[in-house]
Amino acid sequence: KNSSGDGLKETRDRALLLLGFAGAFRRSELVALNVDDVQNVREGLTITIQRSKTDQEGHGRKIGIPFARGTCCPVKAVLSWQQVAGITTGPIFRGVDRHGNVGGRLSDHAVARIIKEWAAKAGLDPDDYSGHSLRSGLVTSAANAGIANHKIRAQTGHKGDTMLNRYIRDGQMFTDNAAGIL
C-alpha cells in the first residue's frame, strides 16, 4: 500500500464513498449490498436495495448509478474493488485486515469510521461528518446544482419533500445569504 491510493482498503473505501454518494445510500443500505443486487448495464449500474429504513417489508427499489466523467466514477470504482478483492458472490463491501485479507461484511459503524477517516485525510474536520454524510451530501449537491426535487427523490427514495427540504435548507444556508450579499 502507498499514499497514491493503492491497496485493498483504499480501493474499497473509494468504491464505498463514491457509490454511497452517487446513490445517496444510507450506510445500512451500502453494507447490505450483495453482488446479486448489482447489475452492469450500458449506462452504468442498476442497484437493487432489498430493504431499507422506509421499506421494512422488503418491496425493494432500483437505483441507477451512471458512469461519471473523470476519476470519480462510482461504477468504475465498484467494479475495480470487486475485481481486486476477488468478490464474485455475497457481500460487496467487506473488511480488509492489515495483511490484505478480505473478510466478512462491513458493519454500518465501519462506514461511519471510513467517512470520518477520509474527511480527515482531505483536511476536513471529521466531527462534521457522519455515516449519513454521503446521503445528505448528494441531496445538498444536487439541490445546489439546480436539480429538481422530484429527480433528487427518485435517487434517494424520499416519498415527499419534507425531509428532503431539511437537507436542502441546511446545505443552502450560505447560498444567496442575505447578510453575505450586503
- Catalytic residue numbers read 26, 53, 132, 135, 158, 167
95 phi, psi to nearest 5 deg = -70, 155
Residue 51 falls in which region: left (phi positive, over 0), alpha (psi -120 to 50) or beta: beta
Question: Which grid cell is 47?
Answer: 442497484
| DSSP for 2-32, written as a single string | -TTS-SHHHHHHHHHHHHHHHHT--HHHHHH
Q: Facing residues of 102 across strands?
A: 96
**Whole-angstrom distance, CA of residue 65 vs CA of residue 159:** 20
Among candidate residues 172, 145, 167, 144, the one with its CA nearest the CA of residue 156: 167
Q: Quote the CA–CA distance of 178 and 96 in Å, as a whole number.
A: 48
